[in-house]
Amino acid sequence: MKKVLCTVSVLLTLAIVFSSGAFVLSGSAQTDYKNKYPFVFVHGLNGWGGGEGINSIVPYWGATTGDLVEYLRGEGYECYSASVGPISSAWDRACELYAQLTGTTVDYGEAHSKEHNHRRFGRTYDEPLVEGWGSKNERGEIKKIHLIGHSFGGTTIRLLTYLMTYGCPAETAACSNPSALFTGGKEGWIHSVTTIATPHNSSTVYRLTQELFLYESYKLFSSVYCATLGRSLLNGHIVDFHLEQFGISNTPGEYDADEFFYSIYNFIKNSDDTCEYDLTPEGSKALNDMIKISPDVYYFSYPFDATHKGALTGLTWPDFGTNPIIAPIGVWLAHHYVYTDKTTGQVYDDEWKPNDALCNTISETYPFGDSHTDFDGSGTPEAGIWNVFPAQKGDHGQAIGLLESPEKTHNYYISIAELLCSVE
């Protein structure tokens, strides 16, 4: 009888342990994981990070499905949500991301700052977002991170990874005390780069903004908007524009913005140092020509497609359930006429018609010119090359949970997390 009771006790204990997840991490055995590096999420254009007040109202990552970063933390993953300039250039955002990750002062670079007529230094972060990033443990292993970027956030993390690996000779030559970001040699600090719905090669929506004369209008509106709210009580509490380098907004807690109209003029004058320019065909090509792949980093891309071909007409239309606010843009993207961009020579043909209602699916696959391979998650990914997933169904916002079901969003990001943790 004692043996029977003992056996039953052991079986009940094991059942409780396994059902409680004591031996699991997000539903998979810990032994399946090759690493437990932290995840750093980087938002896109007009987005915000986890530390901003607006995120407690509407989280960027997760949107209408709830805070995705908190959900993943609850599943056992170490996650962080970074905050960088919502309309800043990829360069400025990469510099801000590096300072935030390391707990240092933002250094936009001596050469870059002079070229674009803004301040070299930004705010100081007293504590690193990821404690011990880049440090070595007792076995000599570096604490790495996984970078995950949505939309323009994908461009930001690509550039950060490039600078971490190769540095910037122009910046090291410009002054005697360059940021450690520009000296390179830190390729071992980043394990993977994952881009989600990132328009690596611009979007034909740019053509639409030109035809409707919206491109210049948007730059003016965004600068006035940021200059106004960046001087208000909301700055640093609800929103954070990270535009103190242009003097267009106050550094949170300080009053260091430039004169209102001068700051707007200066910002527009240097509009090639903004995300709007970086997202144009010319700006995207310039970034792609500069950014090289780091050979030891794993690159993954998840393009999105919210369109289908009509059974009768054969024409491409937005899927049912596409966000009605951006669905009309998806219609235009799917029916634009074939043309060739004059600045880059890129031909926008029928392959560019599938889209996520903001960006063309083909543009989200990989930066043209980079090495790439098709990947469905079942094999072993390759380092130093883009592992491109089949197009995911959903629009640009559904990719981060906006107007999407919690179950689908959570399952999607759990699958990403499990993949990244399985890469040795």
Q: Which of 112, 200, 336, 396 is catalytic?
A: 396
* Catalytic residue list contains 32: no
User: What is the pLDDT, as a whole number, of residue 336?
Assistant: 83
- H or E element, residue 264: helix 260-269
Does pLDDT of 122 surpass 90?
yes
Q: Which of 151, 222, 294, 301 is catalytic?
A: 151
In angstroms, the CA 66 to CA 80 distance is 15
> Could you tell me if 224 and 264 are in contact, meaning their C-beta atoms sit under 8 angstroms apart?
yes
In angstroms, the CA 91 to CA 104 distance is 17
In a domain, 22, yes or no: no
User: What is the pLDDT, as a whole number, of residue 232?
Assistant: 96
User: What is the pLDDT, as a whole number, of residue 245?
Assistant: 98
CA 27 from centroid of its chain's CA atoms: 26
What's the mean pLDDT in 364-368? 98
Q: How many domains does the chain have?
A: 1
What's the mean pLDDT in 10-22? 32
Residues spanned by the domain of 252: 31-421
What's the mean pLDDT in 96-113? 98
Question: Which residues on neighbouring strands pair with residue 193, listed in sequence order?
Answer: 147, 299
CATH number at residue 301: 3.40.50.1820
In angstroms, the CA 157 to CA 183 distance is 17
In angstroms, the CA 1 to CA 360 distance is 69
Mean pLDDT, all residues of the chain: 92
**Ranges of H-type helices in 103-142:** 110-115
Q: What are 294-317's pLDDT values in tens digits?
A: 999 999 999 999 999 988 888 899
> Could you tell me if 174 and 60 are in contact, meaning their C-beta atoms sit under 8 angstroms apart?
no
Q: What are 324-362's pLDDT values in tens digits?
A: 999 999 999 999 888 999 999 999 999 999 999 999 999
In a domain, 26, yes or no: no
Report how far apart, in Å, the C-alpha atoms of 236 and of each of 87, 257, 345 are: 16, 13, 42
Q: What are 316-331's pLDDT values in tens digits?
A: 999 999 999 999 999 9
* Catalytic residue list contains 335: no
Q: What are 375-394's pLDDT values in tens digits?
A: 999 999 999 999 999 999 99
- H or E element, residue 14: helix 2-20
- H or E element, residue 148: strand 145-150
Q: What are phi and psi of 23, to 5 degrees?
A: -110, 15
In a domain, 170, yes or no: yes
What's the mean pLDDT in 106-119? 98
In angstroms, the CA 252 to CA 124 distance is 11
User: What is the pLDDT, as a whole number, of residue 94?
Assistant: 98
In a domain, 404, yes or no: yes
In a domain, 2, yes or no: no
pLDDT-based confidence at residue 15 (cuts at 50, 70, 90) = very low
Q: Which of 67, 240, 273, 356 is catalytic?
A: 356
Q: What are 234-293's pLDDT values in tens digits?
A: 999 999 999 999 999 999 999 999 999 999 999 999 999 999 999 999 999 999 999 999
Task: Give the position of tokens 């709830």.
Answer: 66
In angstroms, the CA 255 to CA 148 distance is 33
In angstroms, the CA 320 to CA 307 distance is 9
Structure tokens at 339: 């043309």
User: What is the pLDDT, as a whole number, of residue 65?
Assistant: 98
User: What is the pLDDT, as a whole number, of residue 138?
Assistant: 87
User: What is the pLDDT, as a whole number, of residue 314?
Assistant: 82
In a domain, 200, yes or no: yes
Does pLDDT of 142 surpass 50?
yes
User: What is the pLDDT, as a whole number, of residue 28?
Assistant: 40
What's the mean pLDDT in 195-216? 93
In a domain, 265, yes or no: yes
Percent of the chain with pLDDT over 70: 92
DSSP letter assigned to residue 404:
S
Region for 132 from its dihedrals, namely left if φ exceeds 0, alpha if ψ lies in -120 to 50, beta otherwise: left
Sign of torsion over alpha carbons 28, 34, 36, 40: negative
* Catalytic residue list contains 415: no
Q: What are 207-216's pLDDT values in tens digits?
A: 999 888 898 9
**Maximum pairwise Cα distance, the chain:** 88
pTM metric for this prediction: 0.92
Pairing of strands 39-42, 298-302: unpaired
In angstroms, the CA 99 to CA 137 distance is 22
User: What is the pLDDT, as a whole number, of residue 312?
Assistant: 82
What's the mean pLDDT in 50-58? 97
Question: Which residues on neighbouring strands pair with residue 79, listed in sequence order?
Answer: 39
Q: Which of 5-9, 263-267, 302-306, 411-415 has the lowest mean pLDDT?
A: 5-9
Of 107, 234, 247, which is closest to residue 182 (Cα–Cα)?
A: 107
In a domain, 144, yes or no: yes
